[in-house]
Amino acid sequence: MKKSIAYSGIIACITLGGIIGYCASVIIFGILTEEYIIHLMIALGAFIGGVLAVIRVRIYLRADKRLAEYLTLVPENAFAFIKEIIRQMRYRKKVRSDVMSELVAHFEDELRECKTDEEKRRMVSELVDGFGDPKLLGILLRRAKKRCRPLWRTITARALQAFGIFIVLLTMYVVWFLSGRPVVTTDYLAELNRIVRPAADQSQNAAPFYIKAAEMFKDIPEDMAELFNKCFEELTDEEKENIEDWLNSKNQVFELVAQGSLKPYYWPEYKANEKKELLSVLVPHLSGYRRIARSLILRVRLNAEKNNLNQAFDDIITCYKLGRHLNGDFSLVEQLVGMAIEDLSVEAIREILNRHQPDAHALEELQNELELLLSSEDFFVELEFEKLSLYDEIQRCFTDGPFGGHLYPARMIYLSNTIATVGETHFEEVNFWYLAEQALTFPMESLRILFAHPDKKQTFQQVDYIYNYYQQLSKKSPVELRAEEIDIENKTTKVIKGNLLLEMFIPSVLHVFELNHRVKTEIYATVVIIAAHRYKNDKGHFPDNLNELVAAGYLNCLPIDSFSDRPLIYKKTGNDFILYSIGLNFIDDGGVLGTDRGGKTGMWEDNGDAVFWPVQK
C-alpha cells in the first residue's frame, strides 16, 4: 500500500513539474517563445519534479522506519495511541518526530518500574486515560508548537503558503490562457471583394485586361533589362533599335492595356489560402504592371524621338490611366504602385515638352484629357484593405473568452516567424548587461501579455480609432498637418502602445500621405506646363504669371501647392519660366533644388524646392 502511494506521488510530482516547467518557460522566455524551448522546459520541470519526489519518498520511508523503531520500545496499545496523536497533529515532520520522541520517552519512564506485561498494559491504560482524547491532544500540541516558534519562522511559513497559492493559481491561469482557441466568424475576404467592386457589369472592368497583359509580360530578358536601366540619352542607335524591336513584339500586351484603360472601373478579385486569411492575399500582377509602365514610357521616348508625338501622348494617357485605376479601396502597395505609374507618366510629358515642339492641337487634347481624369480623382489614400486585414487577424489572434478574449500565442508565434526580421547580434554586444536586459524583458513581456494586454474588444476599438484618425488626416495637406503640429507617428504609438498585434501590423502612413501629395502636385504642375506651352504657341511668349493663363482660358483655376496651400510658384525668366513647389522643408528657396547626402540634386529633397520646369538633367 505504501509503495503504491509512493509511486502515485512520484507520478503526480512529475506531472506537476512538467506543468510548472511549462509555466516557467512562458514567464522566463516569453509567451511567444519557440515550441522547442517549451518542450525542453517541460522535460526539465518533469525531471526535477521526479528527482524531488524520489528524494521525498526516500525521506518518508526512512522516517517511517524510524517511527517503527521508536514504537517497538512501548507496548502495542501505547504504540496506537502515540501514532494517533502524531497523525492528528498535522504539522511539520521534524516537529512531529520530536513530539513522538518525547511521548515515547515519557511512556518508557512510566513503564520502567513495571515488571510484567500485565502491569505495563494497566499502566499504559492509565496514562492513555490521563492524556485524554488523542485528536484534541494532537490539536493542542500543534497550537503549542506554533506559539513557541519564533516570529521569523511564522512570517516565512505564511509567505511560503501565499507563494504556493500564487503558483497554483498562476499555473491554473496560464493553463486556461494557453488552452484558449480563436473562433473565425466573419469572411473578411468576401467583404473585401464586395467593397472593391462597384455597382457595375463585369464588361466595364479593366482588371481582366491588365492581369492578362501582366501574365504575358512576366519577364524582361537580361540583356534587355540592362538597356532599360541605362539612361535613355546614353543609348546608342543600335540599342534603341533593339529595344524598339523587342517592344514591337509586345504589341499585344500594350493593346490589352490600352483596351483596359478605356474601361471606367477596375476591380480585381482577391484570392487567399484555404483558410481565407487576408494575410495570405497576394497581388502578383503588380510587378507586371510596373514592367508594362516602364516599357510604355520607353516606347513614348522612342516615338517622341521620331516626332511621332500623337502616339507618344496616347501611350502616356494609357499609362496614366493604368496608374489611376490602382487608386481606390485597394491595398497600400497597389496604391503606391499606382502613384508611381502616374508620376512616371507626367514626368514623360515634361521631358517631351523639354525636347520637342508639339503642335497646339495635340497639347490641347493632352491637357483636356488630363483635366478630365483629374476631375474625378480625389487623391485620398484609402486604408480599407489594411483595416479589414487587421479585423481578420484580430479574429484569428484572439480567443472568444468570457473576459473579452485574450491573445492566442500560437498565432502570434506564427506571425512573428512570418514577418519579423531578426537582427544580428555582434559578439561584443553579448555582455552582462545585454543578458540582464534579456532576462528581465522576457518575464515582463509574458506578464504583460498574460495580465495587461488589450483584449479582443479593446483591440477592435483601437483599430477603429486609429483608422478613422488616418482617414481624417489623409484629407489634410502637408502644410495643414505642419500648422496643426500633428505628429502622426507619435499619436499612433500612444494609441497602440502595448498591443503586440497592432505594433506588428499598423502601417506607417506619414510617408504615404506625403508621397500622395507629391504626386498630386507634380500632376497639376504638369498641367500648368502644358498650358504655358499652349499659351506660347498662340502668343509667341510665355505668360508673365499664372493669372494670365486663367484669364486667357488656358487654365480653369490656379493650381495649389499642397506644401504651402498657395498657388505653385511661377516666375518668368527671359524667354523661359520656372515653376516649383516649396517642397518638403516648407521654405521658398527661390527655385533651387535640394541635394542628397552625396551632393546630388533631386526633385524632392528636404533642403530645397521641387522644381518642375525647367526639366533638370
**Do 124 and 77 meet the contact criterion of CB atoms below 8 Å apart?**
yes
* Counts for the chain of helices (H) and strands (E), in that order: 25, 7
Q: What share of the chain has pLDDT > 90, as a percent?
A: 41
pLDDT: is 400 or 316 the higher one?
A: 316
Give pLDDT, residue 505.
86
Give pLDDT, residue 339.
95
Q: Across residues 155-162, what is the average pLDDT?
A: 80
**Do 235 and 227 meet the contact criterion of CB atoms below 8 Å apart?**
yes
Q: Tally the residues of the chain.
A: 617
Picking from 512, 533, 562, the residue at the C-terminal end of a domain is 512
**pLDDT above 90 for 597:** no
Give pLDDT, residue 27.
60
In a domain, residue 605? The reply is no
pLDDT: is 616 or 550 the higher one?
A: 550
Q: How far apart are CA 6 and CA 607, in angstroms?
A: 80
pLDDT: is 196 or 41 the higher one?
A: 196
Examine the domain organization and report whether 152 and 187 are in the same domain.
no
Q: Across residues 450-468, what is the average pLDDT?
A: 90
**pLDDT above 90 for 320:** yes
List of E strands, 219-330: none
Give pLDDT, residue 568.
95
Picking from 147, 179, 211, the residue at the C-terminal end of a domain is 179
- Set of cell numbers at residue 298: 520607353
pLDDT: is 34 or 144 the higher one?
A: 144
Give pLDDT, residue 478.
92
**pLDDT above 70 for 469:** yes
- Set of cell numbers at residue 275: 483558410
Segment among 34-48, 127-141, 503-517 with least mean pLDDT:
34-48
Q: How far apart are CA 91 and CA 94, in angstroms?
A: 8
Q: How far apart are CA 493 and CA 291, in angstroms?
A: 36
Examine the domain organization and report whether 162 and 253 are in the same domain.
no
Examine the domain organization and report whether 465 and 421 are in the same domain.
yes
**pLDDT above 50 for 353:** yes
Examine the domain organization and report whether 339 and 445 are in the same domain.
no
Examine the domain organization and report whether 168 and 185 are in the same domain.
no
In a domain, residue 440? The reply is yes
In a domain, residue 141? The reply is yes
Segment among 157-166, 429-438, 512-521, 548-557 with least mean pLDDT:
429-438
Q: Considering only CA atoms, which of 585, 571, 478 is closest in space to residue 528?
A: 571
In a domain, residue 584? The reply is no
Residue ranges making up the domain that contains 477: 387-512
pLDDT interval class at 423 (50, 70, 90): very low
**Local structure of 314: helix, strand or coil:** helix
Q: What is the pLDDT of residues 558-570, one digit of tens each?
A: 999 999 999 999 9
**What integer best gives the mean pLDDT of the chain?**
83
In a domain, residue 88? The reply is yes
Q: How far apart are CA 543 and CA 549, in angstroms?
A: 7
Examine the domain organization and report whether 84 and 62 are in the same domain.
yes
Separation in Å, CA 276 to CA 184, 281, 502: 10, 8, 20
Q: What is the pLDDT of residues 169-201, one digit of tens each?
A: 877 887 788 788 898 999 999 999 999 999 889
**pLDDT above 50 for 362:** yes
Examine the domain organization and report whether 459 and 417 are in the same domain.
yes
In a domain, residue 272? The reply is yes
**Do 563 and 478 meet the contact criterion of CB atoms below 8 Å apart?**
yes
**CA within 13 Å, CB half, 217:** 31
Q: What is the pLDDT of residues 100-142, one digit of tens each?
A: 777 777 777 777 777 777 777 777 787 777 777 878 877 777 7
Examine the domain organization and report whether 393 and 496 are in the same domain.
yes
**Do 583 and 518 meet the contact criterion of CB atoms below 8 Å apart?**
no
Examine the domain organization and report whether 187 and 265 are in the same domain.
yes
Q: What is the pLDDT of residues 229-274, one digit of tens each?
A: 888 888 888 888 998 899 999 999 999 999 999 999 999 999 999 9
302 — phi, psi (to 5°)?
-65, -40
Separation in Å, CA 469 to CA 75, 474, 488: 87, 9, 9
**pLDDT above 60 for 427:** no
**pLDDT above 80 for 607:** yes
pLDDT interval class at 421 (50, 70, 90): very low
- How many structural domains are present in the chain? 3
Q: Considering only CA atoms, which of 349, 372, 347 is closest in space to residue 362?
A: 349
Picking from 467, 494, 512, the residue at the C-terminal end of a domain is 512
In a domain, residue 9? The reply is yes
pLDDT: is 239 or 10 the higher one?
A: 239
Examine the domain organization and report whether 127 and 81 are in the same domain.
yes
Give pLDDT, residue 14.
78
pLDDT: is 429 or 175 the higher one?
A: 175
In a domain, residue 51? The reply is yes
Examine the domain organization and report whether 93 and 7 are in the same domain.
yes
Examine the domain organization and report whether 200 and 164 are in the same domain.
no
